[in-house]
Amino acid sequence: MRGAGAGPVDAYRLVGEDGFLRRWTQSIPLPDKTQWRDPDMASTYALMGLASDPESYLRRPVEARIPLCYWPESLRLSHGERLWDPAAVRVPVLAIRGARDFWSRPEGLAFVKHAYVNAPRVDTLTIPDGTHLLFLDRPERGRTRFIQGVLSFLADE
């Protein structure tokens, strides 16, 4: 597989328990990460990630294969090329991002708002201080607002 303007892209990457948490940890602005996320939630998330690969526990160190199928599209998007036409979407759209998300950008929400021209409804929501994993953050750090946003969107449909 090749990305736009880049070399070959592997089919997957290997991630250990710490790898599932690293970017999330970096996006939390508090020294005590437990004030932002429940340690049991973080541990369960990482362990579930490892369990998603039936061969992860055969490797030393224990690592799960994470598919990189999203990577070629991301590379193309960064060069202004899309693999799909948003005008083909004809259902309601909800796009949510956390303001502290390491992956999404405000420009992405602006794109969604204007590119889905045939969607009967396009809603966007930025959750202040929400991380990429805001649905796992403590309720007051983004999870409640995320759930409320989804439920509100669905209730209006």
With the C-alpha atoms ordered 27, 6, 66, 61, is the resulting torsion angle positive or negative? Answer: negative
State the CB neighbour count (10 A cutoff) for residue 38.
14
pLDDT of residue 1: 38
Helix (H, G, I), strand (E, B) or coil at 53: coil
Q: Residue ranges of the domains in the chain?
A: 1-82, 84-157
Q: Rounded CA gap, 27 and 133, in Å? A: 10
pLDDT of residue 9: 59
Tell me the average confidence (pLDDT) per consecutive run of 10 residues in the chain, 157 residues long: 50 91 94 96 95 94 89 76 88 95 87 93 94 94 96 92
Distance of CA 23 to the CA centre of its chain: 11
Q: Give which of 24, 61, 27 is closest to 44, Cα–Cα.
A: 24
Cis check: omega of the bond before 61, within 30 degrees of 0: yes
